[in-house]
């Protein structure tokens, strides 16, 4: 049962990684979720509001086959994140994620809905190589993040079908590298992240979630001065969970996500982005659709 519980949480874990990746850039409009190498700028403050529902349709099993939810069952996780950024220097920024979740669940005729604050994230980015506008050299940045287990992860109510779960109980330590390169009207972004999830006690049981590697590729096209289109591809790989030192079968995960989005600068200081994320392939992970909206304002 414990392994199944962690398997069901993989979708939330992967979506959590996406939360860690949204951009605060000011030199172009996107991307929506992928990391970039460009900080927000010296003494610049940006506030973002990101909101999206994850609408679960089924699960990818251990062989990668898709199993749809039984008729009448449903799961919707609505996430809203407040994200402030501040540029300490031209090359160094700090940020935070403050998420709130609201979940709706229906299973075998029973229904539940509830919400709560999720896991707090603190992040930093340092650009150690600047883009050469006249040559081939891209911008490169180091990424560092710490996620705190401030969400609810144990003592879950049986009658709420785990809808009251808003965290995974683990401290997470994330390191990464990001590359960005403008190519005329095109912008290329590539990043790699490693997420170490520390051992935690889940309802009194020692649990060590598997580490997560992820790679992102994003392309943005500026088809107008104040509007752009974005495509983002992200691959995730998570090792198996260990419970009381024992590896749990069927808890190692894989996931491939595709994001298509559009951005519009409707004010000199404000940008809106709307898009949808789909999960075309996976293993021991949730399958669903995620429409999203991000509003960014520069002070």
What predicted TM-score, i.e. pTM, was given to this entire model? 0.88
Q: What angle do CA 7, 280, 162 make, to 5 degrees?
A: 30
- Which residues are CB-neighbours of 198 under 8 A, at least 6 positions away? 170, 171, 172, 173, 208
Q: What tens digit of pLDDT does each residue of 154-185 get? A: 888 888 888 888 998 999 999 999 999 998 89
> Which residue positions in the chain have pLDDT lower than 70?
1-30
Q: What tens digit of pLDDT does each residue of 2-54 get? A: 333 433 344 444 444 444 444 444 455 668 788 999 999 999 999 999 999 99
Residue 65: what pLDDT?
Answer: 95
Contact assessment for residue 221 and residue 18, using Cβ atoms and an 8 Å cutoff: no
**CA-CA-CA-CA torsion sign (184, 186, 187, 190):** negative
Rg (CA), the chain: 19
- Reading the block at residue 29, the tokens are 């409009």
Q: How many structural domains is the chain composed of? A: 1
Residue 14: what pLDDT?
Answer: 43
Contact assessment for residue 281 and residue 60, using Cβ atoms and an 8 Å cutoff: yes
CATH, residue 160? 2.40.160.40
Map tokens 């974005």 to a residue: 230
Q: What is the dihedral of CA 183, 187, 257, 76, to 10 degrees?
A: -160
Domain span at residue 95?
A: 2-298
Residue 297: what pLDDT?
Answer: 95
What residues does 255 pair with on adjacent strands?
236, 282
Residue 5: what pLDDT?
Answer: 40
Q: Locate all alpha helices (DSSP H) within the chain, ordered by sequence.
A: 2-8, 10-19
């Amino acid at each position: 049962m414990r392994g199944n519980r962690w398997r069901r949480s993989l979708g939330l874990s992967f979506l959590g990684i996406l939360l860690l990746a949204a951009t605060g850039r000011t030199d172009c409009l996107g991307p929506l979720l992928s990391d970039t190498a460009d900080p927000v700028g010296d003494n610049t403050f940006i506030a973002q509001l990101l909101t999206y529902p994850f609408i679960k349709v089924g699960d990818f099993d251990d062989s990668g086959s898709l199993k749809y939810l039984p008729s009448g069952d449903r799961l919707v996780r609505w996430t809203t994140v407040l994200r402030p950024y501040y540029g300490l220097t031209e090359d160094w920024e700090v940020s935070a994620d403050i998420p709130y979740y609201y979940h709706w669940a229906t299973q075998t005729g029973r229904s539940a809905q509830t919400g709560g604050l999720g896991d707090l994230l603190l992040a930093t980015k340092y650009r150690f190589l600047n883009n050469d506008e006249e040559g081939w050299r891209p911008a490169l940045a180091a990424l560092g993040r710490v996620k705190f287990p401030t969400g609810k992860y144990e003592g879950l109510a049986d009658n709420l079908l785990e809808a009251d779960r808003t965290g995974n109980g683990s401290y997470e330590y994330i390191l990464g590298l990001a590359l960005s390169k403008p190519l005329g009207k095109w912008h290329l972004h590539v990043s790699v992240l490693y997420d170490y999830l520390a051992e935690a006690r889940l309802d009194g049981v020692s649990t060590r979630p598997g580490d997560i590697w992820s790679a992102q590729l994003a392309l943005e096209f500026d088809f107008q001065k104040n509007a752009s289109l974005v495509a983002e591809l992200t691959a995730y790989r998570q090792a198996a969970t260990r419970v009381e030192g024992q590896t749990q079968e069927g808890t190692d995960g894989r996931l491939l996500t595709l994001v298509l989005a559009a951005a519009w600068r409707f004010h000199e200081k404000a940008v809106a982005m709307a898009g949808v994320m789909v999960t075309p392939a996976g293993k021991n992970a949730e399958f669903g659709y995620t429409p999203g909206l991000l509003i960014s304002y520069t002070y």
